[in-house]
Chain A
Amino acid sequence: QLQLQESGPGLVKPSETLSLTCIVSGGSISGSDYYWGWIRQPPGKGLEWIGSVYYTGTTYYSPSLRSRVTISVDTSKNQFSLRLNSATAADTAMYFCARQRSGVQLWSVPAWGQGALVSVSS
């Protein structure tokens, strides 16, 4: 059974880099059937897609975050990571990692982690 677990600091200082890792268990990240993504949700607000990565390293990013985001994959550790540079208070959110099917179903998200709350504050 697939499990996705976010890990990383819960508090980040403004202007610093927000970093999170998603540990994948119950399935291999090195498969052609899936992309691996990050989605966030500010407190009391809606969902925002950040980006997605394929096991080969191919990435898709939200246009609004592209200049600050890097999503990478580590197949040896069966995990993928998010880095968001120059963090501000507006980046305070619950961050979810997720698995998406490749191909025509790429743009739906059937599997989610439980989420990790990250606050940006001095």
Chain B
Amino acid sequence: QSALTQPPSASGSPGQSVTISCTGTSRDVGGYDHVSWYQQYPGKAPKLMIYEVSKRPSGVPDRFSGSKSGNTASLTVSGLQAEDGADYYCSSYADSYNLVFGGGTKLTVL
């Protein structure tokens, strides 16, 4: 059982927006601004898409955005494109020098 809770699946049509949630506790998501989001294609290593809740690494399209409210973080993908179909994982720093991940969300572009 993963420390952070994500919906197993999400979907949207090309051009639409979709939001994936990541729920934790005050000891991880709610307590720190160290939430990250990763995109992973089958058989590949994850790719960092968002760090420190809402910052995008160089090269990540601005269609990807992150936010946080209380113990829940969110990743929003706007203007969905076919290549956005992948698994998405959230992570957060947790108390006492620990890094925890969500169980992952499979995003399907219809």
**Chain A residues within 8 Å of B, Cβ to Cβ:** 45-49, 60, 62-63, 96, 104-110, 112-115
Contacts and interface: CB of A to CB of B under 8 A. Distances in A.
B103 A46 contact: yes
Q: Shortest 10 CB-CB distances between A and B: which pairs?
A: A108-B51, A112-B45, A107-B93, A49-B99, A108-B36, A107-B34, A47-B101, A60-B97, A46-B103, A110-B48
A54 B93 CA distance: 17
Interface in B40-97: 44-48, 51-52, 57, 89, 91-93, 96-97
B45 A113 contact: yes
B46 A47 contact: yes
Interface string B23-47: 0000000001010101000001111
Contacts of B100: 49
Given A46-B89, A46-B104, A48-B101, A107 B45 contact: no
Contacts, number: 60
Contacts of B2: 46
Contacts of A104: 34, 52
Given A60-B97, A104-B52, 16 more contacts: A46-B101, A46-B103, A47-B46, A47-B89, A47-B101, A47-B104, A48-B101, A49-B99, A49-B100, A49-B101, A62-B99, A107-B34, A108-B52, A109-B36, A109-B91, A113-B45
Contacts of A113: 45
Contacts of B57: 110
Contacts of B101: 46-49
Contacts of B52: 104-105, 108
A105 B51 contact: yes
Given A46-B103, A46-B104, A49-B99, A108 B45 contact: no
B38 to A, nearest CB: 8
A112 B34 CA distance: 18
A108 B92 CA distance: 8
B14 to A, nearest CB: 27
A45 B104 CA distance: 8
